[in-house]
Amino acid sequence: MSSMKYDIIIIGCGISGMTAAIYALRSDKSVLILEKESIGGQISSSPLIENYPGYQKISGMELSNNLYEQVINLGGVIELEEVTEIKIGKEKEVITTDNTYKSDAIIIATGAKHRLLGLENEINLIGNGIHFCVTCDGAFYKDKDVCVVGGGNSAVTNALMLSDICKNVYIIQNLDDLTAEKTLKDRINKKENVTIYYESSVKEIKGEEELEEIVISTKDEKEKKLKVDGMFISIGLEPQSNFVKQLLKVNNFDYIESDENCMTNIKGIFVAGDVRSKKVRQLTTAVNDGTIAAIEAVEYINNL
């Protein structure tokens, strides 16, 4: 196990983490980004982004790749390693499954992961009928019947993409209306092959090796069976904060608390992006967090 020193260590290589890296590198700081899964975070699987300034349309993968190239060209180092612990001393230590790294400042930008329904058989069928990414897996269901669970922007965007290739698309929403932006709602309501079940929830998932059928509870408290070939779950995210919950202050939902400068309860540790406790979680707010966290981390180091 080796030990290397960087000015700033960023945990998480999503939009906020890479934005932070760009600002820190341009301030002539050495930067290491540690990522346990994949470059780009959740947005890399988004098929279409239409609300990011400067782009009428761009895929999440393309945006992530652009940022990755920018970080590398500026001299940033990216390692695929899982962080298991942070130790606070004269220098901060970030311990991964493979190495120990030291730094003066840390930015946590670990984001959030897809929330599950919590039903029996759900995990077993992920990849075999149950999915999260339409860009990755939607094409498998051309001319077939699918459902989307959720009613927010991600869910409706997924349903719109699927409606262009699938025979029928069912949206299962537990509220009495969709919570997506009005433009998305207007577009989905015009789709003749989309059926929306309001005040409904998935109660059972059937299928042994592949998804065959789901049972939903409708608003009149009756059960309804839907034969579907695929199900895309879009019901929100869970913060990736388990590795620091004993060290940093988190809210009731395990999002990391911070002040307006993205500083946590420990000096020199900052937080950015979806893992941070805040009201709005969008691409633009992730970029905002990354910018602020990096500027504040640089100032913190300069004042040591």
pLDDT tens, position by position, 49-96: 888 899 999 988 999 999 999 999 999 999 999 999 999 988 999 999
| pLDDT for residue 37 | 87
Do 241 and 264 reside in the same domain of the chain?
yes
Residue 261 in domain = yes
Q: What is the tally of structural domains in the chain?
A: 2
Taking a C-beta distance cutoff of 8 angstroms, is the pair 271, 260 a contact? no
- Are 106 and 242 in the same domain? yes
Q: Which residues of 9-25 are buried (b: 16+ CB within 10 A; e: fewer)?
A: bbbbbbbbbbbbbbbbb
Residues 108 and 182 in one domain: no
CA count, 13 A, side-chain hemisphere, 199: 6
Q: Do residues 108 and 128 share a domain?
A: no
Burial of 127 (0-12, 13-18, 19+ CB in 10 A): exposed
Tell whether 198 and 242 lie within a shared domain. no
Say whether both 148 and 104 belong to one domain. no
CATH number for 219: 3.50.50.60
Q: Which helix (H) or strand (E) holds 212?
A: none
Q: Domain boundary residue among 188, 204, 233? A: 233
Measured distance between the N- and C-terminal CA atoms of the chain, rounded to whole angstroms: 28
Please state, in angstroms and rounded to a whole number, the distance separating the CA atoms of residues 300 and 167: 56
Question: Helix, strand or coil for residue 9?
Answer: strand
190 and 255 assigned to the same domain? no
Q: Which of 75, 62, 71 is nearest to 109 (CA)?
A: 71
Helix H or strand E segment including 299: helix 283-302
- Partners of residue 131 on adjacent β-strands: 232
Q: What gap in Å lies between CA 41 and CA 44, rounded to an integer? A: 6
User: Do 31 and 89 have their domain in common?
Assistant: yes
Q: Are both 223 and 266 inside the same structural domain?
A: no
* Domain match, 142 and 190 both: yes
Predicted pLDDT at 113 = 86
Taking the model in full, what pTM does it have?
0.76
For the chain, count helices (H), then strands (E). Answer: 6, 17
292: tokens are: 């602020």
CA 96 to chain centroid, in Å, comes to: 21
Q: Give pLDDT, residue 2.
A: 54
Give every residue of the chain whose pLDDT is below 50, as ranges: none
213 close to 206: Cβ distance less than 8 angstroms: yes
Q: Which residue range(s) make up the domain with 47?
A: 3-113+237-302
Taking the C-alpha atoms of residue 197 and residue 178, their distance in angstroms, rounded to an integer, is: 10
The answer as to whether 108 is a domain residue is yes
207, 68: one domain: no
Q: What is the pLDDT of residue 192?
A: 97
- Among the listed residues 238, 239, 114, 234, the one whose alpha carbon sits nearest the alpha carbon of residue 174: 234
Same domain, 207 and 136: yes
